[in-house]
Amino acid sequence: MPVKTERIPLSFGMLMGLLLVLAIPASFGSEVGGVVAMDAIQPHVAVDHDGVIYVVFIHQGNICVSVSKGDGKHFSQPVIAIDVNGRARGGMQRGPRIGVDAQKHLTVTAPVTFDDAEYEKKYPTADLYLTTSDDGGKTWREPIRVNTIPKQAPEALHWMVVAPTGEAHVTWLDRRSRHGRGQDIYYTTVADGNVGENIQIGSTVCECCAPGLAVDGGGNPLVAFREGGDKESREIFVTGSADGGRSWHAATQINQGNSKEHGCPMSAPAVAVSPDGKQFAAAWKDVRTGEAKVYWSTSDRPRFFSDAPVHQTFRGEQNHPSIAIDASGTVWMAWEESQPGSQRIWLRSSAGEDTGRPISDPSEGWASFPVVACNAGRVAVVYETDKSGDSAVMFRSMASARE
Q: pLDDT for 260-308, tens place per residue? A: 999 899 999 999 999 899 999 999 999 999 999 999 999 999 899 999 9
pLDDT (tens digit, 9 = 90+) per residue, 36-50?
999 999 999 999 999
- What was the pLDDT predicted at 15? 37
Contacts of 364 (CB under 8 A, 6+ apart): 16, 19, 20, 385, 387, 392, 394
Mean pLDDT (the chain, rounded): 88
pLDDT band (50, 70, 90) for residue 352: confident
Answer yes or no: pTM beyond 0.75.
Answer: yes
Contact (Cβ atoms closer than 8 angstroms) between residue 36 and residue 90: no
**Does residue 18 have a pLDDT over 80?**
no
Are 37-170 and 206-389 in the same CATH fold? yes
Q: Please state, in angstroms and rounded to a whole number, the distance separating the CA atoms of residues 6 and 21.
A: 26
- Quick one: pLDDT band at residue 194, thresholds 50, 70, 90? very high
pLDDT band at 314 (very low <50, low <70, confident <90, very high): low
C-alpha span between 354 and 125 (Å, rounded) = 43
Identify the CATH number of the domain defined by range 206-389.
2.120.10.10
Among candidate residues 297, 322, 301, the one with its CA nearest the CA of residue 379? 322
* Average pLDDT value for residue range 344-367: 91
What's the mean pLDDT in 5-9? 32
Residues 253 and 200: beta-carbon distance below 8 Å = no
Per-residue pLDDT, 123: 82
The answer on pLDDT for 32 being more than 90 is no
Amino acid occupying residue 237? F
The answer, yes or no, to whether residue 219 has pLDDT greater than 90, is: yes
- The identity of residue 402, as a single letter, is R
SS3 (DSSP) at 74: coil
Model pLDDT for residues 89-100, shown as the tens digit of each residue: 888 889 999 999
With 50 as the cut, is the pLDDT of residue 27 above it? no
CA-to-CA separations, 108 to 97, 139, 162, 252, 299, in angstroms, rounded: 6, 12, 9, 30, 29
pLDDT at 193 over 60: yes
Q: Is the pLDDT of residue 25 over 80?
A: no
37-170 adopts what CATH topology? Neuraminidase (2.120.10)
Q: How many CB atoms lie within 10 A of CB 115?
A: 15
Q: How far apart are CA 134 and CA 140, in angstroms?
A: 8
For residue 8, is pLDDT > 50?
no
DSSP 205-264: E-TT-PPEEEE-TTS-EEEEEEB-SS-SSPPEEEEE-SSTTSS-PPPEE--SS-----S-
pLDDT at 367: 97
Closest CA to 345 of 365, 356, 359: 359
Burial class (CB in 10 A: 0-12, 13-18, 19+), 314: middle
Which residues have CB under 8 Å from 8's CB, separation 6+?
38, 39, 390, 392
State the CB neighbour count (10 A cutoff) for residue 70: 12
Where do the domains of the chain lie?
Answer: 37-170, 206-389
Do residues 131 and 145 make contact, with C-beta atoms less than 8 angstroms apart? no
